[in-house]
Chains A and B, each alone.
Chain A
Amino acid sequence: DTAVSQTPKYLVTQMGNDKSIKCEQNLGHDTMYWYKQDSKKFLKIMFSYNNKELIINETVPNRFSPKSPDKAHLNLHINSLELGDSAVYFCASSQGVGKVSGANVLTFGAGSRLTVL
């Protein structure tokens, strides 16, 4: 059973389109995240949700809108796609918030490679 699963794995689309990436975790974790990894492998946090509540919202264009229908799901919707949005997007989850031992360890999905033409 995959712990953190995201779909689709590959997404190729034209500039200006709207697309979504879905993420689900079956670990019972309270916190979920979206990270963006660029071509140089740099990983940057975009959003974090704890029990469906947004707790981290980095400087991300408002074309990106996360949605968490329940604590096991965190989807990412992107409007009006631009060339610079091409990247690998990783969903992740962790046990909780704060300094509890192990709570900060992230479990990542396999990534969704988005290519904007």
Chain B
Amino acid sequence: GESVGLHLPTLSVQEGDNSIINCAYSNSASDYFIWYKQESGKGPQFIIDIRSNMDKRQGQRVTVLLNKTVKHLSLQIAATQPGDSAVYFCAENSGGYQKVTFGTGTKLQVIP
């Protein structure tokens, strides 16, 4: 079936450096993508989203890039901080009913 997956299960980054978390998806009908952050003991929280008619979207310290040609999206976090340590999920929706499919998650560890 269709799936959304990540290249790296764990990413360790020095505090202050930039982080890049990657995600591959296989459903070519996906038209909406969301990144979530899950801290330990909590539910996932929305970070940023992007629609398929866009290539790039920026938020506060975060940027999402979408490459529809290779079905790949990435989350870039600028000046990574200890509070960014969490598991990050990409998720996709192919429209219609609210079926949001999550990728396998990447654990980001920030080294002080």
Contact = CB atoms under 8 A, between A and B. Distances in A.
Interface of A: 4, 31, 33, 35, 40-45, 48, 50, 55-56, 90, 92, 94, 97-99, 103-111
A43 B44 contact: yes
Given A41-B107, A42-B105, 10 more contacts: A4-B43, A40-B104, A42-B104, A44-B102, A45-B101, A48-B97, A48-B99, A97-B96, A98-B95, A104-B100
Interface of B: 31-32, 34, 36, 38, 41-46, 49, 87, 89, 93, 95-102, 104-105, 107
B95 A41 contact: no
A108 B43 contact: yes
B98 A43 contact: no
User: Which 10 residue pairs of A and B lie closest in terms of their CB atoms, listed nearest first?
Assistant: A108-B43, A43-B102, A41-B105, A104-B93, A105-B46, A108-B44, A55-B97, A31-B98, A90-B43, A110-B43
27 contacts: A4-B43, A31-B98, A41-B104, A42-B105, A43-B105, A48-B97, A50-B98, A56-B97, A90-B43, A90-B44, A92-B43, A94-B98, A97-B98, A98-B95, A99-B31, A99-B32, A99-B95, A103-B98, A104-B49, A104-B93, A104-B98, A105-B34, A106-B34, A106-B36, A108-B44, A108-B45, A111-B41
Given A43-B89, A98-B95, A111 B100 contact: no
Contacts of A107: 46
B12 to A, nearest CB: 17
A109 B43 CA distance: 6
Contacts of B41: 110-111
Nearest to B96: A98
A50 B99 CA distance: 12
B58 to A, nearest CB: 17
